[in-house]
Amino acid sequence: MIVHKQKIEKESRSQIEFIDITHEVEEAVRESKVKNGQVLVFSPHTTVGISINQNETLLMQDFQRLLYKLVPIDERYSHDLFELKSGSKSDGRSNGHSHCKNLILGVSEAVPIEEGKLLLGKRQNIFMVELDGGRKRDIIVQTMGE
């Protein structure tokens, strides 16, 4: 069995941003030489999600509106009460909303590989979803199989 790990580095520019990483994941799968198996796309960040959906501009706007509506920025989040966090690490960002959005999206997606190709649907793309931008981020791509 082959296990191949690769890191994708991305930089976001806005608060919520859907960044299509399908091409980079496909390249990681090619480099792994796995013909049949699966690829795991994982975010080691608590304010970045991984999602599979269609890459269409107006749909991305709908997703952004949905996330803002479900988890509004101007809500009061306990995570943002820095004065109550004695002993816990904080970078000073009021980003409780970003962590809550991440809970909805999740941090990983697995995609089957057959004959060296991702078995994504015709209109499916893999996205890194920035929820606390702009920042530099790493995404882990682990390919496993024969």
Please answer whether residues 36 and 113 qualify as being in contact, where contact means their C-beta atoms are separated by less than 8 angstroms. yes
Domain ranges (residues) in the chain: 10-75+91-145
pLDDT at residue 75 in the model: 85
pLDDT at residue number 85: 56
In angstroms and rounded to an integer, the radius of gyration of the C-alpha atoms of the chain is 17
Burial of 113 (0-12, 13-18, 19+ CB in 10 A): buried
Residue 138 has pLDDT above 60, yes or no: yes
Cβ atoms of 12 and 125 closer than 8 Å: no
Q: Which two tokens stand for residue 19?
A: 């960044």
- The class (CATH top level) of 10-75+91-145 is mainly beta
Asked if residue 114 has pLDDT above 60, the reply is yes
What is the tens place of the pLDDT at every residue in 56-86?
Answer: 999 999 999 999 999 998 888 888 786 555 5
Residue 82 has a pLDDT of 66
Q: Confidence band (pLDDT; 50, 70, 90) for 89?
A: low
pLDDT digits (tens, 9 = 90+) for 19-52: 999 999 999 999 999 999 999 999 999 999 999 9
% the chain with pLDDT above 70: 92
Q: What mean pLDDT is reported for the chain?
A: 93
